[in-house]
Amino acid sequence: MKELELIVRSLAEEAVKAQVIVVTGDTKVVNKGKCDKLFINTAGIGSVRKENRLVSKARNIQPGDLIIINGTIGDHGLAVMSARESFNFKTPVVSDCASLNHLIRQMLDQSSRVKFMRDPTRGGVATVLNELAGKTGLGIEIDESALPVTRGVTAMCELLGFDPLHIANEGKVLIVADPVEGDHILEIMKKNNLGKQSAIIGRITGDHPGKVMLKTETGGRRIIDSLTGDLLPRIC
């Protein structure tokens, strides 16, 4: 009951921050030993303004458009893994779970040049970018030196052999924007607490159609594929 109270209080606090209302709930009964403590499944209901209905369609994307993310990548997936496996790293990894509706609203209110948005959850940034490249038939170039990654995530990925681009995120949004307003959009995002580490990480290109290419810090290039399999089962 103590854990349940802690979770419900956290739910209530986040609902107030996001200015949303929890309208219903349900419980399920399972056989003894078939459920490890608590599972919560949620669904959000909202509306999309008419002028923003194309941000999930990727229809108007062109070579030269910028790719922006609102902060560091890989935090959530590795925080969950660290907790499950009881890793004792000196540099802790903290989940990035957050409600981004206010950040996104501020951005859309102040700029009409956002062309695409997607949350890089399961499969990480790499999977979203590969889906985008496949849908548009265009290429994508990512600059490794521009990727915002914490020291803790970098250390864990090096130890475990993971790529931060494949790790799940829960408080991040990937944006494709017209280069004319790229700096303006970045400035808007950085004024929000959930966007202080926002960065332009790459761009859309007419080269290598349908593929995502990473420009490494050493000057080389390598193709970034979608995640195959699942690094961390039942994460979300």
Mean pLDDT of 210-221: 92
In a domain, residue 18? The reply is no
CATH code of residue 95: 3.90.650.10
Instruction: Please list, in sequence order, all residues whose beta carbon lies within 8 angstroms of the beta carbon of residue 195, skipping any fewer than 6 positions away.
Output: 70, 71, 103, 188, 189
User: Is the pLDDT assigned to residue 235 strictly greater than 60?
Assistant: no
CA distance 70 to 190: 8
In a domain, residue 80? The reply is yes
In a domain, residue 53? The reply is yes
In a domain, residue 203? The reply is yes
Mean pLDDT of 217-223: 91
In a domain, residue 194? The reply is yes
Which helix (H) or strand (E) segment is 187 a member of?
helix 182-190
Residue-number span of the structural domain to which 133 is assigned: 46-223
In a domain, residue 127? The reply is yes
Query: What are 67-99's pLDDT values in tens digits?
Result: 999 999 999 999 988 888 777 777 788 999 999
The total domain count for the chain is: 1
Mean pLDDT of 184-212: 96
Higher-confidence residue: 233 or 148?
148
